Structure 1
Amino acid sequence: MAHGDITHIDIPVSDMDRAQAFYSTLFGWHIAELPGFEGYPMWQAPNEISGGGLTPRSEGFTQPRSYVEVDSIEETLRAVQDQGGRVVMDRSPISETSWWAIFEDPDGNTVGLYEGTTDT
């Protein structure tokens, strides 16, 4: 479960063009769709470290969601349940070398998990 770094933040939006203009003007974020992720514009902060995505607002996804990097999503989800949390979405692939999942803490907050490797 190590790491614990916030690695990504998704922001739900109702108007993608308006949101891109708003955040790029407000914070100087570079926002673009990457190949393979069409319809999911990703933002990068001027520090070139922080980043995330703009996601269509939907039922159940109305507030920004942070993603925490872990060594093992499976181990982390077991610990979530042991500590009184609930798995919302099991480990799912992003690419051949990265995965994500979502859990809910005992207070009802949803948090994302990210597991990735540079090994190919």
Structure 2
Amino acid sequence: MPHGDITHIEIPVTDFAAAGAFYSALFGWQIAEAPGFEGYPMWQAPNKISGGAFTKREDGSTSPLSYVEVDSIDDTLAAARAAGGTVVAEKAPITDTSWWAVVADPDGNTLGLYEGMTTPPEG
């Protein structure tokens, strides 16, 4: 995906099963826990492009969080700071080939950052 595309949306919920039933009935989302991501039920829209996951609703995680794909989280964190934003969560690994972080704009809106690939390269 190109730099700047929204790639993933996390929705905080209190009950994974109830949320899965609701969103499946409402939008036809397919929901499953992928191997290695137990306790993080992921959803995929019927277009097979849009998707995300359910997270546990708790303090600090009460609104959906969109993740934007970037070429370099390190560069994007530096650019966010330089532009007046703040880093809410520093760069952390997802897999051996992917990372995430969270920034806030000057108004306090948060966006997740995603770099890499979660599936091994073919070859």
TM-score (norm 2): 0.93
Report how many aligned residue pairs link the two structures.
119
1:36 has 2:36 as partner? yes
Structure 2 counterpart of 1:68: 68
Runs of 4+ in 1 over 3 A off after TM superposition: 117-120
Taking the TM superposition and a 5 Å limit, the aligned residue runs for 1:96-107 are 96-107=96-107
Find the aligned partners of 1:63 and 1:33 in 2 and give their Cα distance.
21
Structure 1 counterpart of 2:84: 84
Deviation for aligned residue 1:33: 0.3
Instruction: Check the 8 A contact 1:73/1:114 in 2, yes or no.
Output: yes
- Could you say what secondary structure the match of 2:108 adopts? coil
Deviation for aligned residue 1:119: 4.8
Structure 1 counterpart of 2:15: 15
Structure 1 counterpart of 2:49: 49
Instruction: Check the 8 A contact 1:40/1:53 in 2, yes or no.
Output: yes
Structure 2 counterpart of 1:6: 6
- Structure whose residues are more often strand by fraction: 1
Cα deviations by residue, 1:11-56 (Å, 9 ceiling, x for unpaired): 0001111101000110000000000000000000000000000000
Find the aligned partners of 1:73 and 1:119 in 2 and give their Cα distance.
20
Deviation for aligned residue 1:58: 1.1
In structure 2, runs of 5+ residues without a counterpart are: none
In structure 1, runs of 5+ residues without a counterpart are: none
Structure 1 counterpart of 2:25: 25
